[in-house]
């Protein structure tokens, strides 16, 4: 299992973020927003704040199948919900 984050920020900005907040996974820079377009996290101009990606979490299985997509609205409680779903999917070997 791997934790990967992505943003539209530069590698330098992502590195500073990871260091400041102790981000435990890989943090990828999607500066051309191609992944954001593919995963539908790129905002349309009329949505406001088009420079930022929509906050989404994707659970992708080892075969590359998206098993869950979350619209992140409550940041503090979000990780617990994802972990519960990962356990239910057997991501921890049980």
List pLDDT tens digits, range 20-48. Answer: 999 999 999 999 999 999 999 999 888 88
Q: State the residue range of the domain holding 28.
A: 4-67
Task: Flag whether pLDDT at 94 surpasses 80.
Answer: no
Cα dihedral 58, 84, 73, 23 sign? negative
50 in a domain, yes or no? Answer: yes
Domain count, the chain: 1
Distance CA 20, CA 14 (A): 10
Over residues 90-94, mean pLDDT:
74
Rounded average pLDDT over 34-63: 91
The pLDDT of residue 16 is: 97
Any domain includes 78: no
82 falls within a domain: no
Calculate mean pLDDT across residues 63-74: 93
Pick the closest to residue 91 from 56, 67, 57, 55 (CA basis).
Answer: 67
In a domain, residue 81? The reply is no
Q: pLDDT value at position 90?
A: 86
Ramachandran angles phi, psi of 84, nearest 5°:
-60, -45
């Amino acid at each position: 299992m791997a934790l990967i984050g992505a943003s539209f920020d530069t590698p330098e900005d992502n590195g500073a973020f990871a260091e400041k907040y102790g981000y435990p996974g890989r943090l990828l820079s999607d500066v051309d927003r191609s992944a954001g377009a593919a995963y539908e996290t790129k905002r349309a101009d009329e949505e406001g704040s088009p420079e930022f990606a929509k906050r989404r979490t994707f659970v992708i299985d080892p075969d590359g199948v998206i098993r869950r997509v979350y619209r992140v609205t409550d940041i503090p409680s979000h990780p617990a919900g994802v972990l519960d779903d990962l356990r239910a999917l057997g991501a921890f070997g049980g």
